Structure 1
Amino acid sequence: MTNQQEAVRTGTGVVPLMIALLAACLAFQLNASMLSPALVTMERELHATATEIASTQTVFFTAAALFTLFLPRLGDLIGRRRVLVGMLLVMAVGCVVAALATNVPMLFIGRLIQGVSGPVVPLCLIMLRAAVKDPKAYGTLLGVVTAVNGGIAGGDALLGGYLATNHGFASIFWTMAGVAIAAALVVRLLAPETMADDRPRMDWWGALLLVVSVGSMLVAVNELGKLAEADVLLVVVLAAVAVASFLAFWKLEGAISDPLVSTTQLKQRSTWALAATSLLTLGGIFAIMNGVVPALAQDTSLGLEMSAEEVSLWILMPYALAGLLMGPLSGRLAATVGYRTMLRVGLGGTIAVLALMVVNVETSSRLVLLLLSIAAGITYAGIGNIMLNGLGVVLSPKERPGSLPGLNTGAINLGAGLSFVLIYAAQTSFTAEAGSPASGYVAALITGAVVLVGALVFSLFIPKPVNAELRS
C-alpha cells in the first residue's frame, strides 16, 4: 500500500481526494452545461442552423453515454486514476478542436472527442468507494460529488452566457480546456491509484457489441424525437441493429471466461431492476424540467409569460441549487435510512410535484412555480438522482466494480433521450386534439408522472446494498 493510499484509508487523505474528484466533475459538468446559453452565438459565428448546432450537442451526449459503458471497467483493470486523467486530457484536446472550429463539421469532431469524458462521474464514485469504507461518510461524499454533477447552481450557464456575449463561443471552449487540464493535474497529484483485485484482460469485443447496441438505440431514440419528421425506416433499421448486437453481446458474455458483464450479472435484480428504474426515472422527469416547464413559463397564452432570463432565475437556478444543497444530506441519510427507501421517497415526491404542476398549469403566480421548481430540485435532483448513481456503485459486484455503473449510466442517458420522445409526443398530440396549449402541458406532466410510477414499481425489485448501509 502506498503512502497516498494509506492516507486515504486512515482519513487524512479524504480532503485531497475530494478536491481531485470535484475538480474532475466540475470539468465534465462545464462540457455538459456551459454551452446552453451560447447556442445562438454559435449559430451566428459559424453561419449554421439551429438544427446543425443541436446535432453537435447530441453527438457529445451520445458519445458520453457510449464511453461510459466500458471505460469504468477499463479503470478496474489498468487503474482508475490513470483512466480518469487520460479522459480529462482527451477532453481538453476536444475542447481545443472545438475552440478552433471554423465550421460545423470541425465543431462536431471536437464535441465527439469531448464525449470521452462521459464516465467521469461514475468513475469518481468508484474511486471514492474504494477509498472511503464508512457508510455514513461515503453516503455524504457521494451526495456532494453527484450534486456537483447536477449543476453549479446555474453559475456554469451564467459564465457561459457572459463569455459567449463578450468574447465569442470559442472562449467557452478555451475555458473548458484550461479547467480540464488543471483537473487532470489535480487528479494525478492528489488521488491515489486504485484497481480491482482481479484484473483479467479487457473484453474489447463485448465492449464493442454493447456500444453498437446502445449506440444504435440512442440514435433511434434521437430520430424518434423528431416526431412527425422522423425517418421511420431508419428507426426500424437501428432498432434491429440494436437487438441483434445485444443478442450477440449476450451470447459472447456467456461463452468467455472474463466478460465485460457476465450473463449471471445481467440476470440479477441489482442490474435489470436498477437499469429499468434509472431509464424510467429519467424518461419521466428529464424533458419536464429541461423543456416543458421552461416552455410553460414562457408561453404567452398562459399566465406567466416569462422571458428566457427570468426562466433561469425563477426555475432553473433554484432547481439546481436545491439539488446541490440536498445531495449531501440525502447521501448521508441513505446510509441509515437506506438507499432504496430514499430513492422511493425521491420518486414519490417527484410524482407529487408533477401532480401539483398539473393543478397549477395556468397559474400566474411566479412564487408557485418557484416553490414547485425547488421541490423538484429536492425530490429528483437532490434525492432520486443521487440514489440512482449511488446504487450503481454500491450494488456492483466486488470482482468488477466498474461494470454496473457503466450499464446504469447508459440507462440514464437512454432515458434522458427517450424522455423527449414520450413527453413531447404526448404534449403535441393533446395540444392538437384539444386546440389548447394548457391541455398539452397537462398531458406532458401526466405522462411524466405515469412513467415515474413505473420507475417506482421497478424500484421495489432493487436489492438492498447491505455493505453500504448501517445495520439496524
Structure 2
Amino acid sequence: MTPTPPDTRRSGGPLILALGLAAMVVAMAQTQVIPILGLLQRELDTTPAGVGWVTTATLLSAAVFTPLLGRFGDQHGKRPTLIGVLVVMIAGSVLAAVTSSLPLLIVGRVLQGAATAIFPLALSIIREEVPVEKLPGAMALISGTLAFGSGLSLVATGLLTRGDDPNYHLVFWFSGILSVVALVAVLIRVPASRVKAGGRIDLLGAATLGLFLVLLLLGISQGHEWGWASGRTIGSFVGAVVMAFVWVRVERRVADPLVDLRMFVHRPVLLTNVAGLFVGFAAFSQFIGISYLVQMPERVAGYGFGASVLRASVEYLLPGALISLLAAPLGGLLVGRIGARATLAIGAGVGVAGFAWLAFGHGASASVILAGMLTGIAISFGYAAMPALIVAGVPHHQTGIANGINSISRSVGSSIASAVITSLLASKSVEGLPPGLPPIPAEGRFTLSFVIAGAMLVLVVAVALLGLQRVPARAEPVAVSQPRVQESADV
C-alpha cells in the first residue's frame, strides 16, 4: 500500500465532530438505563437481580467485543468497523425500544454493549487523520465528548421519563436516533483507513480473553447480589484466574496474536491501564455517590437534599459533565505543552481535592456541585492524557487494540466502584427510621465512599509521577510506510 503523504491529513473540525457524536453513543449505552432501573423492574415485572442484568449484559458484551473490534479495525480498516458497530448499536436500541420482554431487552443491551468499541476506533482514526501537532487536542476533545455524553444521557433519561406515566421505551428511541445521526456523520466525514495491518483474527485469543473478562466482571458485578463468599462468586474469580493463564499461553503461541503481550506489558501501556482502572473507579464513584447522596430525604435521614432523579441529573450531575467537556481542550493543550504524564498527575490532584470536598463538605448543594465539577475536570484530564500515553507507546497497527484494552481497564474500575460503593452503602443504615421505610445508608458510608475514590486518584498521581517514564509531549506516530515487522520491534 502506498502511504498517503502527511500533508493530506485533515485538520480536524468536522471529523472530530463526527467522531465526538459517535463517542456520545458510547456514553449513552453505558449510563442511559441507570436512572430507570426501578422503572424497568416495575414495567417488566421482574426482581432487582433480574433487572440488574440490563446493565451487566452491556458490561459483559463490552468486555468481549471492545478488544476484538479494536483489533479488527487495526487489521481491516477502522471506518468499516466503526460503521458496523454503529449499525449494531442502532439495532440494539430499536430492539430495546420496541420490546416489553426482559430477555429481549437484555439481548438489545448486549448489542448496545458493542458500542464501547467506538471509542478506541475513534482514537485510532484521529491518530491517522489529524496532524501530529493537533493530535493531543483532538484526542482530548473526543474524550471530553465521551465524558459529557454520560451527563447528557442522564439528563435525557430524566426528561424522557418524567411525569406520572413514564415510558422507558423513549429512552432507547433517543439513543437509537442519536446513533443514526452519528452513523450519517461518520459516513460523510470519516475517510477510509490509511493503515491496515492485515492478518487473520486470533479467534482463540479473543475467546479466551473474552471468557477471562466475562468471568472477572461477572464476579465483580454480581458479587453483592450473590454474596461475596458464595460458590458462584468465588467460582467466577477462580475461573477468571484460570482463563487469564490460558489466554497468556494462547497469545504466546499464535503467530498473529490478538494482543501482543510485549505491548501489553510495555511499561507506559501497562501503567496507563493501571491508571485507567483507578480513573474508572473514581469516575463511577462520582456519579453513583453524588446521585444517591442528593436523593436522600434530609427530613428522615438527617442529610441529603431529597432530589428527584431528574433534579439529581440536571442540578447536581450535569455541571460536572459540562465542565468535563469544557476542560477537554485545556487537557489537550496541557498534554501538548507539558506532556501526558504531568497532565494525568495534575488532573488526579484536582480530583483528590474534589473528593475530599465531597467527603467532608457535602452538607450544602453548592459544595456538592462545585466538588463534582472538580472531579469532572479530573476525569476529563485523565481521559485526555491516557490515550496520548497509549499512542506514544504503541505503533499504528496496535492503536485500536491498545486503546480498547485501556477502555476495558476503565470499565473494570467502574465495576469495582459499583460493587464497593453498593456494598458500603448497604453495610450500615440510619437507625430509628419510621416503620415501613426502606433502609437508608448512614451518612458516614458516603463519606467513606468519597474518601476511597480520592485515594484511587492519589494512586493515579503516584503512577503518573513515580511509575510512568517521561514521554515526549508530542509523540510522533510510527510512519505508515514502515513495515509491520519494524513497527512491532519498536514497541
Structure 1 residues 228-267: aligned runs within 5 Å:
229-230=227-228, 232-267=230-265
Q: How many angstroms apart in 2 are the aligned matches of 1:161 and 1:311?
A: 9
Change (3 A) 1:431 1:276: farther
In structure 2, what residue type is equivalent to 1:329? L
CA distance in 2, matches of 1:128, 1:436: 44
Contact map agreement 2:335 2:343 (CA 8 A) in 1: yes
Name the residue aligned to 1:293.
290
Q: Deviation at 1:221?
A: 0.5
| 2:118 pairs with 1:126 | no
- Distance change >3 Å, CA 16–CA 293, structure 1 → 2: closer
Residue 330 of structure 1, CA deviation: 0.7
- Deviation of the 1:252 alpha carbon: 1.8
Q: Quick check: 1:92 aligned with 2:97?
A: no
Shift of 1:411: 0.8
Normalising by structure 2, we get a TM-score of 0.86
Does the Cα contact within 8 Å between 1:225 and 1:420 map onto a contact in 2?
no
SS at match of 2:191: coil
Paired position in structure 2 for 1:24: 22
How far residue 423 of structure 1 moved from its aligned partner, in angstroms, is: 3.4
Q: Deviations over 1:202-241 (max 9, x none)?
A: 21211111111111100010122338x4462112211122
Counterpart-to-counterpart distance in 2, 1:28 and 1:153: 9
Q: Letter of the 1:311 partner, please give it.
A: A
Q: Is the 8 A contact 1:77 1:195 kept in 2?
A: no
The residue identity in structure 2 corresponding to 1:314 is E
Aligned length: 461
Name the residue aligned to 2:417: 419
Residue 472 of structure 2 corresponds to 466
Deviation at 1:27, TM superposition (A): 2.9
Identity of aligned residues (%): 23
Aligned 8 A contact 1:72 1:403 in 2 = yes
Q: Would you say the 8 A contact 1:223–1:231 is kept in 2?
A: no
1:323 maps to which residue? 324
Deviations 1:168-208 (A, max 9, x none): 22233233223323322321232111154532222121111
Cα offset, 1:316, TM superposition: 0.3
Q: Select 1:446's aligned residue among 451, 475, 488.
A: 451
C-alpha deviation, 1:82, in angstroms? 0.5
Asked if 1:182 corresponds to 2:188, the answer is no
* Matched letter for residue 101 of structure 1: T
Counterpart of 1:367? 366
Q: Is the 8 A contact 1:343 1:383 kept in 2?
A: yes
Q: TM-score scaled by structure 1? A: 0.89
Moved more, 337-346 or 443-452: 443-452
Q: Give the superposition deviation at 1:337.
A: 1.0
Contact 2:61 2:114 in 1 (8 A): yes
User: Equivalences for 1:295-374 in 2 at 5 Å?
Assistant: 295-299=292-296, 300=298, 301-308=301-308, 309-361=310-362, 363=363, 365-374=364-373
d(CA) in 1 for partners of 2:339, 2:10: 27
Query: Deviation string for 1:34-55 (max 9, x for gaps)?
Result: 3344444433433334442232
Q: Please, which runs of 5 or more residues in structure 1 have no aligned partner?
A: none
User: Paired residue for 2:106?
Assistant: 108
- Note if contact 2:317-2:372 (Cα within 8 Å) is conserved in structure 1: yes
Supply the distance in 1 between the matched residues of 2:161 and 2:295 (Cα, whole angstroms).
23
**Aligned-partner SS, 1:69:** helix
Residues 75, 45 of structure 1: CA spacing in aligned structure 2 closer, same or farther, 3 A cutoff? same
Larger deviation: 460-469 or 171-180?
Answer: 460-469
Alignment CA distance shift 1:168-1:468 (3 Å): same
Q: Distance in 1 between matches of 2:58 and 2:292?
A: 24
- CA shift in 2, pair 1:30/1:450, >3 Å: closer
**Structure 2 spans left out of the alignment, 5+ residues:** 432-439, 477-491
Question: Cα offset for 1:101?
Answer: 1.1
Cα RMSD (Å): 2.8
In 2, are the aligned partners of 1:323 and 1:377 still within 8 Å (CA)?
Answer: yes
1:408 Cα deviation from its structure 2 partner = 1.0
Q: Which residue in the other structure is 2:207 paired with?
A: 208
Q: CA deviation at 1:16?
A: 3.2
1:351/1:452 contact within 8 Å kept: yes
* Cα pair distance change 1:379/1:106, threshold 3 Å: same
Deviates more, 1:111-120 or 1:151-160: 151-160
Partner Cα distance (1:11, 1:264) in 2: 30
Matching residue of 2:135: 138
Q: Which moved more, 1:122-131 or 1:54-63?
A: 54-63
Letter paired with 1:212: L
The change in CA–CA distance for 1:397 and 1:11 in structure 2 (over 3 A counts) is closer
Deviation at residue 351 of structure 1 after TM alignment: 1.3
